[in-house]
Amino acid sequence: MVAPPVLPPIGRAALLLDFDGTLVDIAPTPDAVVVPPDLAAALRALRTRLDGALAVISGRPVEQIEALLQDAVEVIAGEHGGAIRYAPGEALDRMALPTPPEAWFAAGARIAAAHPGAALERKANGFVLHYRAAPALGPVLGEAMAALVEGSDRFVMVPARKAWELRPRGADKGAAVEALMRRAPFAGRLPVFIGDDVTDEDGMAAARRLGGVGLRVADAFGTPAGVRAWLRAAAEGVW
């Protein structure tokens, strides 16, 4: 494992984690992801050491992260911060975001159907075109989605890992970091954000603006397995 840079003392830190490509390995499709059996225990122990200041910030819906991690993480920001669950059982705190026209969802479905290997993932306020199964489709799908959002002042197309995502402007992981850090148990602490993808850069930048640390998986840990090894060590008292 690559040694991460110097972190704030654990008593002053808040740990904010991306999911896909950070906590778990990238799978051929989003629903094929595998959660290692020891991950939940490490997260629970580390949450205790952080006095609850641990959250997952993902592009996935909150409900998916909740189902995958069960009770290991109490605070979850989904849809790039478009929806946040601050505690188990609480209603989602949703940003006031526009929803794309239904015709755009239909167009996304047609694009995916016309390109074998492409997959459409629909979200509350947008959708993703995945091409993990057919990497050569990246430019073609990117052009198709760019044409769809051209001229829009409310939606933006952003690159992700072997995917293109259409989402509202203002919904990003940086906004999620800022929202979490305004509330207990995160307020007054220094954020440590760990992510692996282009969509995580906003979260890394926000953490740094707030006096904390933004870490890219490849640079600081090598792989998600490296992140998990560090989490286990941190849960046992190394951090």
List, in order of start, the domains of the chain with CATH numbers. Answer: 10-96+171-235 (3.40.50.1000), 102-168 (3.90.1070.10)
Decide: 192 and 159 in contact? Cβ < 8 Å.
no
Is residue 153 among the annotated active site residues? no
**Whole-model pTM?**
0.85
Return d(Cα 228, Cα 231) in angstroms, integer: 5
Assess contact for 52 and 226: CB atoms under 8 A. no
Query: What pLDDT does 68 receive?
Result: 96
Per-residue pLDDT tens listing for the chain (239 residues): 565 568 999 999 999 999 999 999 998 888 889 999 999 999 999 999 999 999 999 999 999 999 999 999 999 999 988 899 999 999 999 988 888 899 999 999 999 999 999 999 988 888 999 998 899 999 999 999 999 999 898 999 988 888 999 988 878 999 999 999 999 999 999 999 999 988 899 999 999 999 999 999 999 999 999 999 999 999 999 99
Rounded CA-CA distance 228/239 in Å is: 14
Pair of tokens at residue 9: 């003392």
For 70-84, b/e burial (b = at least 16 CB within 10 A) is eebbbbbbbbbbbbb
